[in-house]
Amino acid sequence: MNKVKVENLLINFKTLEKFKRFREYGNQELSMLEDLQNNLIENNSESPFYGVYIGENLIARMSLYRIKEKYDNYFDPPQDYLALWKLEVLPDYQGKGYGKLMVDYAKSFNLPIKTSPRINSQGFWEKMGFQKAQYDLERDLGENPLIWLPQGVQEKAALPNHDDE
Ligand X SMILES: CC(C)(COP(=O)(O)OP(=O)(O)OC[C@H]1O[C@@H](n2cnc3c(N)ncnc32)[C@H](O)[C@@H]1OP(=O)(O)O)[C@@H](O)C(=O)NCCC(=O)NCCS
Residues 55-94: x where in contact with ligand X by CB under 6 A, - otherwise, as a string: --------------------------------xxx----x
Q: Does position 129 bind ligand X by CB under 6 A?
A: no
Q: Which of 21, 100, 107, 132 binds ligand X (CB under 6 A)?
A: 100
Q: Which of 25, 53, 109, 124 binds ligand X (CB under 6 A)?
A: 124
Q: Which of 120, 137, 138, 164 binds ligand X (CB under 6 A)?
A: 120
Nearer to ligand X, 79 or 122 (CB): 122
User: Quick one: which segment of 9-17, 50-58, 95-103, 147-155 binds ligand X (CB under 6 A)?
Assistant: 95-103
Question: Could you tell me which residues come within 8 angstroms of residue 161 by beta carbon, excluding any fewer than 6 positions away?
Answer: none
**What is the residue type of 37?**
Q
Classify burial at 122, counting beta carbons within 10 Å of its beta carbon; exposed 0-12, middle 13-18, buried 19 or more: middle
- The separation between CA 84 and the C-alpha centre of its own chain, rounded to angstroms, equals 2
Q: Does position 98 bind ligand X by CB under 6 A?
A: yes
Q: Does position 145 bind ligand X by CB under 6 A?
A: no
Residues constituting the chain: 165
User: Quick one: which segment of 4-12, 70-78, 120-128, 155-163 binds ligand X (CB under 6 A)?
Assistant: 120-128
Distance CA 125, CA 148 (A): 9
- Among left, alpha and beta (phi > 0; psi -120 to 50; other), residue 80 is beta
Q: Which residue is nearest to ligand X (CB)?
A: 99
Q: List residues binding ligand X (CB under 6 A).
A: 87-89, 94-100, 117-118, 120-121, 123-124, 127
